[in-house]
Amino acid sequence: MNKLSGKVAVITGASKSIGAAIAEHLAAEGAAVIVNFASSSSDADAVVARIAKSGGKAVAVQGNVSQPDDIKRLFSETKKAYGKLDILVNNAGVYEFAPLEAITPEHIRKHLDLNLAGLLLTTLEAVKLMGPQGGSIINIGSIVGPMPAPQASTYSASKAAVDAITVSLSQELGPRKIRVNSLNPGMVETDGLRASGLDGGTLRE
């Protein structure tokens, strides 16, 4: 029996790259997964199809997790599909590197609305579906949280906040049998990284 058999997992931002890989791995271990996506419906459907082809269970659910109403709908659809939740992976995020002179209020809000507020509000709704048996929450941070990079002050700050949230919530939710952990990947060659042009030059070095 696979070690996640009978478990239900929501992965935000799971239509491609890191999120898609996480969804497919959790499904391979037996979890029924919700493949959340903001706009890439065809990519999300492709992830679901790959999981189904491998004998797993998955459903794609649209929802921009920077929007509170979308977050509520995501977990309403999760309850409708599977009736419960055991695992949340807060993977959805945005990154835009910019020098100080190019930082705008919109740039700041974009990062904080998704990487910070979205993560917290998604966790809030997820916990409501976790029963007395508890569950697991995994927050995807970044190496630039503890090791900030040049021209990434806003993004680095938002990912440092992910680590702080993780520590705080692990203490708060631990007594309810809900584990909260974070992962801080280094550079991963995703579509977003290549599109930004950050996959070369001094950052790679």
Report yes or no: 186 and 205 within 8 Å, Cβ to Cβ: no
What are the b/e assignments for 129-152, b being 16+ CB within 10 Å?
A: bbeeeebbbbbbbbebbeeeeebb
What is the strand order of the sheet 32-37 is part of? 57-62, 32-37, 8-11, 87-90, 135-140, 178-183
Q: Which residue type sits at 78? A: T
Strand ranges inside 13-132, DSSP E: 32-37, 57-62, 87-90
- 155: annotated active-site residue: yes
Residue tagged active-site, from 116, 155, 156, 182: 155
Tokens representing residue 108 in the block: 């700041």
Place of tokens 């520590």: 167
Strand partners, 8: 32
Could you tell me whether strands 57-62 and 135-140 are parallel, antiparallel, or unpaired per DSSP bridges? unpaired
Indicate the helix (H) or strand (E) that contains 77. Answer: helix 68-82
Task: Give me the active site residues, please.
Answer: 155
